[in-house]
Structure 1
């Protein structure tokens, strides 16, 4: 099945709006020993948290937020190690388990903002694209793997995904890593889609052309988006 892909926009982000909920802010304020978190006005929660974070040493603050977000995935030693490494390196790009890159990015950027640049500045990429079938009437429910297959022809050969996963991008091997490489995939209606990923995996400069064709094997386009 062949498709026409149009890149409508590509933006570099230093934070993702609405990732942290009001409940997250309250919970974190309590962990940072802010006494009136439950009664604070919603529009002040982020500012209050940023101030509360800076009452701690950077690595201590990192450990608290990491524990809040990732205690079910990492042990105490791993959390402690990451809390120190984050001050030196872009752990959200370098951590071996790529399924943790997205939460590590959001944690890093919250700390980057609170400590005014003491943490490395990681970036994300948001792409809005249109996908139109060239040989069938109905569009399937694209998976993250489908989207990366379709993007293959529109990316430069130097793109990291193409270099590390050339066979998977070409469709000749299964691509489970796609679930972690693309952090979000959202259908926006009228054949439009929005994806979010790390600038490390896919930057604006990796997009070689704004319009191109892609192809999917029929069997790979039947799973719903996650």
Structure 2
């Protein structure tokens, strides 16, 4: 925990959709949910447009209800879905819902509703950024050549102001040996080892948590893995 790591934010951008979530199979599934009928003659090139058209044949709240039911399957009950389908017209549930583990799927739901209804739902914004981490003890941090979500968040938090959301909400987890929420805060992550001392990490997450990194270039800090991960290694 005493090792100092140098972190450099190489790229930072806002994205409006998560890579590889909505695709042809999911469009086919949604057409079934919307009771479109026979889809056998719809070409792959037409699937997205036909899916969006089918979505907008419903009132916005009803479309939200149907898509929430598909995305969340049985994780939300009918009453919750009914309430959320109304709230999503005005609220960014991928930021405001109490269960952080649901944020990514609320984002995916909000993204297709925003696109299909041409902005009648809140604009979904996520962030994608690259972090170069340098240390002569880098191998001690990596688990199976990957950096963990807990370790990267603990490091990134030191590159943001003390009052930033992660530092306020997760004060204990940042300094302790357990950060269970970390895997839900980070939506997608890729670790690319460039040398024994350098790793490039690409992160996709909510703007809600990491917008302040946009104004950060480089910093130094300490970090560590959760204790149970270290024990398994």
Seen in structure 2, the aligned counterparts of structure 1 residues 43 and 189 have a Cα distance that, compared at 3 Å, is farther
Q: Distance in 1 between matches of 2:86 and 2:225?
A: 47
Per-residue deviation, residues 21-78 of structure 1 (Å, max 9, x unmatched) = 2111101012112234243221221111111110000011111111111122111111
Asked if the contact 2:157–2:166 (Cα under 8 Å) also holds between the matched residues in 1, the reply is no
Residues 174 and 208 of structure 1: CA distance in aligned 2, closer, same or farther (over 3 Å): farther
2:221 aligned partner: 214
Q: 1:131 to 1:38 in 2, by over 3 A?
A: farther
Confirm whether residue 12 of structure 1 aligns to residue 14 of structure 2.
yes
2:114 match: 112
TM-score by length of 2: 0.87
What SS does structure 2 have at the residue aligned with 1:179? Answer: helix
- Which SS does the other structure have where 2:216 is aligned? coil
In 1, Cα distance between the equivalents of 2:68 and 2:32?
15
Asked if 1:181 corresponds to 2:188, the answer is no
Q: Is the 8 A contact 1:143 1:223 kept in 2?
A: no
Change (3 A) 1:137 1:189: closer
Three-state SS of the structure 1 residue aligned to 2:46 is: helix
* TM-score normalized by the length of structure 1: 0.89
In structure 2, the residue corresponding to 1:200 is in which secondary structure? helix
Helix, strand or coil: the match of 1:195?
strand
Aligned counterparts, 1:47-58, within 5 A? 47-58=49-60
**Could you say if the C-alpha distance between residues 14 and 216 of structure 1 is closer, same or farther in structure 2, counting changes exceeding 3 Å?**
same
Q: Cα distance, 1:119 vs. partner?
A: 0.7
Match of 2:128, SS state, is: strand
- Structure 1: gaps (5+ residues): none
Matched, 1:151 2:133: no
- TM superposition shift of 1:219: 6.3
Residues 1:166 and 2:166 are matched in the alignment = no
Which shows bigger deviation, 118-127 or 37-46? 37-46
Give the structure 1 partner of residue 210 of structure 2.
202
8 Å contact kept, 1:128–1:192 = yes
Counterpart CA distance in 2 for 1:188 and 1:3 is 16
Where 2:208 maps in the other structure, the secondary structure is coil
Aligned length: 222
SS in 2 for 1:67: helix
Shift of 1:186: 1.4
Does the 8 Å CA contact 1:22/1:45 hold for their aligned counterparts? Answer: yes
What's the CA shift string for 1:187-221, capped at 9, x where partnerless? 23421111111111111x44443112222347657
Question: Where does the alignment leave 5 or more consecutive residues of structure 2 unmatched?
Answer: none
CA distance in 1, matches of 2:13, 2:38: 37
